[in-house]
Chains A and B, each alone.
Chain A
């Protein structure tokens, strides 16, 4: 894949509520942002974990659903027209000269920015890896947690594990391509779109796919290539021929590459000061749940406050030597113009 290059004022890592609000605060101070997130949508935990759950401690909003908050923030930052880079994981941040940082993603994107804001929340959302013995030996050859190219599964014996939308969607999708699909799930109920559930049951009935109620218990193969696996059911252990195993157990948050960026950490959180929310590296900030300082509370509202203060310091890196005057959105004609409400 060809590299893509972007130059901007600030790169924000994490499109959760705090990362999104940082776009607003930086935007008010004339800083352009590119936002990178590993999920395929903005919103972070609010979108991935609790879109339908009410949040009760956002100032001025007695109750707001996770997704409503995200939608409102997206609306609020619209005037600043941020660029989003979704389904991308930042791999590396390094200083390239006195002014610029370089940020690289696993999608071959390369960013040049004067400041970097890490709003990484609980870390990167990564696929859960079931604790089956030796599974890591088969990863990327025979075990896949996401699918980029369906063709590699043509005429193969596939075992798909799970009972959610991902498991069912891929079972339906690969059934016609694979030699045989075996779906393994712990019970005969699925938590997925009703239409997918209906289709799966009819494929099982028509003997187009095999269905095993149970759990994968062991893998068999050599040199990273699977040959078969065993499934434990309520009364026996069955062996299933298997070229590729696709487990879909949802996502979990892991710190991921953040640990390798040379930042001071305390129990997997990035330590910052409480004036600028800056890390030990000048020009790299950390805001929201990913940071820690004396008295830190992991609340969205604290992240919002941190975003505002961080922006004051980021301005000094983006516009060195320029004086910053503090202004209110209620009264400043300059700010109103930026927001498109003048």
Chain B
């Protein structure tokens, strides 16, 4: 199990454990973390699982692929550390990963 920390826009923190191989989006949905909509269920097709990766973790989560970058065009308040959480795969390397959630996913 790998620990992922979500910080809602209002500051409320959620720390969840998830099996490796899940995505960060699935970690949120399976643990009822509010603030991740995931309309399309993880198809990189809707941009409603937008998160900000804590800069300390940016290197380990890697860079967004082209399709994810394109899809981020449909999110709001996109920053350099913006990612779609359905595109970040959980592995033991990411144990303790912290992501912040935007004000809303639209």
Task: Please list the residues of chain A having a beta carbon within 8 angstroms of any beta carbon in chain B.
Answer: 45, 49-50, 53, 122, 128-131, 162-164, 185-187, 189, 191, 215, 249-250, 252-253
Contact = CB atoms under 8 A, between A and B. Distances in A.
B74 A53 contact: no
Interface string B34-75: 000101100101111000000000000000000001111111
5 contacts: A50-B40, A186-B72, A186-B78, A189-B69, A252-B37
Given A45-B40, A252-B39, A164 B73 contact: yes
Given A131-B103, A252-B106, A122 B39 contact: yes
B12 to A, nearest CB: 19
A323 to B, nearest CB: 42
B104 interface: yes
Contacts, number: 54
B106 A49 contact: no
Nearest to A252: B106
Contacts of B104: 131
B39 A49 contact: yes
A201 B46 CA distance: 26
A185 B106 contact: no
Contact of A250 (B37, B43, B47, B77): B47
Nearest to B73: A163
Contacts of B48: 252
Contacts of A163: 73
Majority DSSP secondary structure for residues of A touching B: loop
Interface of B: 37, 39-40, 43, 45-48, 69-78, 103-106
Nearest to B45: A49
Nearest to B67: A191
Majority DSSP secondary structure for residues of B touching A: loop
A187 B104 CA distance: 21
Contact of A249 (B39, B40, B70, B76): B76
Contact of B40 (A49, A185, A186): A49
B43 A128 contact: no
Nearest to B46: A49
A249 B43 contact: no
A281 to B, nearest CB: 27
Nearest to B104: A131
A53 B106 contact: no
B1 to A, nearest CB: 25
Given A128-B76, A249-B76, 10 more contacts: A50-B43, A122-B39, A128-B74, A131-B103, A131-B104, A162-B74, A249-B74, A252-B39, A252-B48, A253-B39
A161 B73 CA distance: 10
Contacts of B47: 250
A131 B69 CA distance: 20
Contacts of B37: 252
A250 B74 contact: yes
Task: Give the 3 A-B CB pairs with smallest separation, nearest first.
Answer: A191-B70, A128-B106, A250-B74
User: A49, A163, A189: which has the most chain B beta carbons within 10 Å?
Assistant: A49
A186 B74 CA distance: 10
Contacts of A129: 106
Nearest to A66: B43
